[in-house]
A = this chain, B = another copy of it.
Amino acid sequence: MKITVLRLGHRPARDKRLSTHLLLAARAFGASDAVYSGTMDPGLEESVAKIVRDWGGDFRVGYEGNWRRVVRDWEGKVVHLTMYGLPAQGAVSEVRAADEPLLVVVGGPKVPREMYEMADWNVSVTTQPHSEVSALAVFLHLLLGGSELGLGFPEARLRIVPSAKGKDVVVSKD
Contacts and interface: CB of A to CB of B under 8 A. Distances in A.
Interface of A: 14, 17-18, 21-22, 24-25, 27-29, 51, 55, 82-89, 116-117, 121-122, 124-131, 133-134, 136-138, 141, 146, 148-151, 153, 159-160, 162-169
Nearest to A111: B167
Q: Find the residue from A17, A22, A29, A160 having the highest chain B CB count within 10 A.
A: A160
Interface of A is mostly: mixed
A106 to B, nearest CB: 12
A18 to B, nearest CB: 6
A134 B26 CA distance: 10
A154 to B, nearest CB: 13
A134 B168 contact: no
A149 B125 contact: yes
Contacts of A83: 160
Given A86-B164, A138-B141, A167-B84, A25 B122 contact: no
B17 A88 contact: no
A128 B55 contact: yes
A21 B18 contact: yes
A118 B159 CA distance: 25
Nearest to A86: B162
Contacts of A117: 165
Contacts of A84: 160, 162-163, 166-169
